[in-house]
Structure 1
Amino acid sequence: MVPLAYNDNGLHSVPLPVAIEEVAAAGFSGIELSLARGRLDPFDFTPSHAARVRARLEKAGITACALAAGDARLLGGERFEPSLVHPTAEGRRQRTELLTKAVDMARELGIPTVGFASGKLHPGTDPGEAARRLKDGVLALLEYAGEDVALSLEPEPGFLIRTNAQVGSLRTEPGLESLTLCQDLGHCRVVEDDYLGASEQWLPITRHIQIEDIKGRHHRHEIPGDGDIDFPAFFALLGRSGYRGWVSVELYNQAHRYREALRRSHDVLHAARAGLS
């Protein structure tokens, strides 16, 4: 059965040890950890910190299934900037250094996958030049990660890479064959006319899936059951494909009611995957 996880950025209102306990208590078998200042902080992370997190996970009996490296303000006041496609070499260097730290943290924590995004295309930037910058950045990161940690690129509405197909195309570039896809089902709903078809088509290169509900095609993360996504159909296609990776709920905007979000997400998704093996 496809295992369910919950991204701890949906519990940023409580300390990380409490978040781990709450996710486990809600019935999830995994947790997706997210970089965050003062929490799982890439600029203040030590082996002893890693040991404490591992001990908490072991005590709670859940798996850290992925590390999300996309917190909006890790590098400054402008959301998601600087990125791998930033106009300045210094900006791109900052993002690359952050992501290499994420790889190091994943190794320390025993997490197999690091998820990241491309960043947005800046006004006046040639799309071809931005694509070249992204290729160079991803190539360097793949070389750094080696075989220890999988790097998984997440398409994001409004970013240079916004569809699953664009990740598939990027993988055809020399040296980028080991790049994997981090799908976000809600993002597929926003940018694709056939969101279930776009999800199923690219499952062979998918390492990790994030999930939330979406009303219409408005990019706001809703608790499963509060939008229009057909979750039984989604889990059925996962069953047909043989996908056995993690499905992780991402509700960073529901931290003010995290217990309700945890409970309702688990109930809806557990019911939707019923019968799969």
Structure 2
Amino acid sequence: MRFAICNETFQDRSLEDGFALAAECGYEGIEIAPFTLAQRVTDLSPQRRAEIRQAIEKAGLKTVGLHWLLAKTEGFHLTSPDETIRQRTAEYLRELARCCADLGGTILVFGSPQQRNVLPQVTRAKAEDYAVEVFEKLIPELERTNTILALEPLGIQETNFVNTAEEAVAIINKLGSPRVRLHLDCKAMCSEATPIPTLLRTFREHLVHFHANDPNRLGPGFGDLDFVPIFEALLEIGYQGWVSVEVFDYGPGPERIARESIQYMLRCLEQVQRVRAGKT
């Protein structure tokens, strides 16, 4: 289990300073929101991508991948009834896969709630067909770039499409590719009736990536969500991926968010490990 943090946490400073602070706090990885780099990733030249990767590696970090894939863009929509828009969306996702690989990452977290909402004239079943169609066009590029699409369930307050882990896995199973897996986020999972540890155990075979945060939109340890049973479940299922801190409320400031989040997670992990050691 390795700890990472999303780079938009550090939007008040340069990319390089953000990477340096993440490393100083003890994170091993950085997850990138494309909108922090350019309006569209197509605006990033190969040279600029190489420079960003070098800055990440110079800080001693590894690139986890990309998230907020379609945030702050226009003209893309996963479940649009317009074939031209779906084709455009598939092509942009292919470019995101290429950018992810250029930056040294492997994970593409598909959240983007506004760009996946089921539109009024579209049925839920048809929306799923459209989503599968777009993702099928992406899979060859995922294979070529050695990247993985991580489909993220989000609560109903965020979107009306794919609100549960079960719904995400249904789409994953339809696609039937090892390049399309499941991403789970603590804040989003709190909107489900099933407890987080149970969701982790139930969907362990599909899980490839994990976001740590609190339902209050802050980092782990900033609210009431107890991460001890969460880490207990992650260790039990043998999860070896990234635990990446993603927050939405930057009020406490980036340095406090980054430091206190990882300190809290390390304490929880240590507590779980002590209990597990006592049982052996």
Question: In structure 2, what is the equivalent of residue 114 of structure 1?
Answer: 108
Divergent runs of 4+, >6 A: none
Residue pair 1:69, 1:102 contacting (<8 A) in 2 also? no
CA distance in 2, matches of 1:187, 1:245: 19
Residue pair 2:152, 2:184 contacting (<8 A) in 1 also? yes
Question: In structure 1, what is the equivalent of residue 132 of structure 2?
Answer: 135
CA distance in 1, matches of 2:39, 2:32: 8
CA distance in 2, matches of 1:114, 1:259: 26
Cα gap change, 1:178 to 1:37, in 2 (>3 Å): closer
- Partner secondary structure for residue 65 of structure 1: strand
Residue pair 2:69, 2:96 contacting (<8 A) in 1 also? no
Identity within the alignment, %? 21
CA distance in 2, matches of 1:17, 1:41: 20
Alignment of 1:19-30 (within 5 A): 19-30=18-29
Residue pair 2:200, 2:234 contacting (<8 A) in 1 also? no
- Count of aligned pairs: 266
1:212-271 CA distance string (max 9 Å, x none): 0114xxxxx122223232201100111111111000000143177111111110111111
* Pairwise CA RMSD: 2.1
Cα gap change, 1:40 to 1:55, in 2 (>3 Å): farther
CA distance in 2, matches of 1:272, 1:167: 28
Tell which deviates more after alignment, 28-37 or 38-47: 38-47
CA distance in 1, matches of 2:40, 2:11: 13
CA shift at 1:173, angstroms? 1.6
Cα gap change, 1:62 to 1:177, in 2 (>3 Å): closer
Cα gap change, 1:242 to 1:145, in 2 (>3 Å): same
Cα gap change, 1:255 to 1:65, in 2 (>3 Å): farther
Residue pair 2:35, 2:71 contacting (<8 A) in 1 also? no
Alignment of 1:1-277 (within 5 A): 2-36=1-35, 38-39=37-38, 41-75=40-74, 82-117=76-111, 119-146=116-143, 148-157=146-155, 158-173=159-174, 175-176=176-177, 178-215=179-216, 221-254=217-250, 257-274=253-270, 276=273
Residue pair 2:63, 2:105 contacting (<8 A) in 1 also? yes
Taking structure 2 as the reference length, the TM-score comes to 0.87
What are the ranges of 5 or more consecutive residues in structure 2 without an aligned counterpart?
none
- Partner secondary structure for residue 36 of structure 1: helix
- Partner secondary structure for residue 6 of structure 1: strand
What are the ranges of 5 or more consecutive residues in structure 1 without an aligned counterpart?
77-81, 216-220
| Higher relative contact order (Cα pairs below 8 Å, separated by 6+ residues) | 1
Residue pair 1:10, 1:255 contacting (<8 A) in 2 also? no
CA distance in 2, matches of 1:7, 1:269: 15
Question: In structure 2, what is the equivalent of residue 79 of structure 1?
Answer: none
CA shift at 1:93, angstroms? 2.8
